[in-house]
Amino acid sequence: MPTAPTPLTGPLVVALLYDSLCTFEFGIVAEVFGLARPEMGSGWYRFRSAAIEPGPLTAHGGFRILPDGGADLLEEADLIVVPGWKGAAVPVPESLIETLRAAHGRGARLASICSGAFVLAATGLLDGKRATTHWRYADALRRTRPALTVDEASLYHAEDRIFTSAGSAAGIDLMVEIVRRDFGPDAANSVARRLVMPAHRTGSQAQFLERPVRPRGDGAIPALLDHIRADLASDWTIARMATTVGMSRRTFERRFGEATGQGPGQWLVTERVEAAKDLLVRSGGSMETIAQAVGFGSAHALRHHFRSLVSLTPTAYRREHAIAA
């Protein structure tokens, strides 16, 4: 007869379940903490899911959810994870707020993935502290809870037993980091290998930010921007830009700022970095070749501006984003 698995005795991790659950975010928590890992021994995590509202509950993709239990499970948890939330404007139930405060007060850790930061922020436990969330939600989180400092650059952040992470995939980084803190680097590396991902990802959310929206205003500035994008390798001084659209430099800089929300120099550097990103992942060109192609003139200038905007070196960006042949 097969031997019964040894009961686990490690920290109890409880993931919240709610209607319209973010399926991927919940899957991250279940994969890291709920997957059977006999090689880790009996002290590995115990995992449960807790419904915070009456059913029936559904998840993105049309799944029906059958939880392990209700909110009473949170009273026993060593780590409570909020896998996303219904929306930035959706109120957090007062009963959940009080339960999370009580859990933290008795020593439990709290963690969130992506928009789950709104749930932790609602408790007030992040007031006066730093937290992160997906860069698209950063401004909304600031408005919702001005007493906390929103760090939209980090992939994850930890302070006072409260962990927050950026977009969905950054939740994997955070969960692996929690494993590292609890069981050491070898365990974290083992989990990361099973997930086929690095145990620690370099860089920040800056590498994933969307390009600026198309400028406002009449056709002169947008036409100029399209012209520059098509010829980034040229020497585009502000004086040349102003002359191209038939404006004085002062008028040009004012109109450019009104249209783009940026100064001409800042906009040009951003566009050149964006073009360099594309060449880094789509070509095998050297840094000097790419720098010349996008108008930076030297690999040194490319590295300087790239690291300033993306928080990664061009080489690291190429390694992490390269398209397989």
Note whether 151 and 270 are same-domain residues: no
Say how many Å lie between the first and final Cα of the chain, rounded. Answer: 48
Note whether 17 and 164 are same-domain residues: yes
In the predicted model, is pLDDT for residue 28 greater than 60? yes
Residue 170's pLDDT is 87
C-alpha distances in angstroms, 145 versus 95, 129, 231? 19, 11, 44
Percent of the chain with pLDDT over 90: 57
In the predicted model, is pLDDT for residue 180 greater than 70? yes
Q: Is residue 123 part of a domain?
A: yes
Residue 324's pLDDT is 39
Over the stretch 227-282, which tens digit does the pLDDT of each residue have? Answer: 998 899 999 999 999 999 999 999 999 989 888 878 999 899 988 998 898 888 77
Q: Convert 134-153 to b/e letters by CB count within 10 Å (16 or more is b).
A: bbbbbebbeebbeebbbbbb
Note whether 308 and 161 are same-domain residues: no
Residue 322's pLDDT is 59
Neighbours of 284 (CB within 10 A): 10
Beta bridge pairs of residue 162: 110, 159
Q: Is residue 151 part of a domain?
A: yes
**Confidence grade of residue 198 (pLDDT, cut at 50, 70, 90):** low
Q: Is residue 213 part of a domain?
A: no
| Cβ proximity of 139 and 72 under 8 Å | no
Q: Is residue 296 part of a domain?
A: yes
Q: Is residue 278 part of a domain?
A: yes
Q: Is residue 292 part of a domain?
A: yes
Lowest mean pLDDT among 26-35, 177-186, 293-302: 177-186
Query: What's the domain range around 252?
Result: 220-321
Lowest mean pLDDT among 39-53, 112-126, 190-204: 190-204
In the predicted model, is pLDDT for residue 213 greater than 70? no
Note whether 282 and 151 are same-domain residues: no
Note whether 194 and 45 are same-domain residues: yes
Over the stretch 131-155, which tens digit does the pLDDT of each residue have? Answer: 999 988 999 999 999 999 998 777 8
Note whether 18 and 94 are same-domain residues: yes
Q: Is residue 230 part of a domain?
A: yes
Residue 321's pLDDT is 65
Of the residues 153, 179, 205, which one is the last residue of a structural domain? Answer: 205
Note whether 78 and 41 are same-domain residues: yes
Instruction: Give me the CATH number covering residue 121.
Output: 3.40.50.880
Q: Is residue 5 part of a domain?
A: no
Distance CA 177, CA 157 (A): 10
Note whether 101 and 242 are same-domain residues: no
Residue 62's pLDDT is 84
**Confidence grade of residue 189 (pLDDT, cut at 50, 70, 90):** confident
Note whether 28 and 133 are same-domain residues: yes
Note whether 97 and 142 are same-domain residues: yes
Distance CA 36, CA 120 (A): 28
C-alpha distances in angstroms, 46 versus 30, 41, 80, 84, 176? 10, 12, 12, 21, 16
Tell me how many domains the chain contains: 2
pTM of the predicted structure, to 2 decimals? 0.65
Pair of tokens at residue 49: 């899911």
Instruction: Give me the CATH number covering residue 260.
Output: 1.10.10.60
Note whether 169 and 100 are same-domain residues: yes
Of the residues 142, 173, 205, which one is the last residue of a structural domain? Answer: 205
Return mean pLDDT, the chain. Answer: 87
In the predicted model, is pLDDT for residue 7 greater than 80? yes
Note whether 29 and 119 are same-domain residues: yes
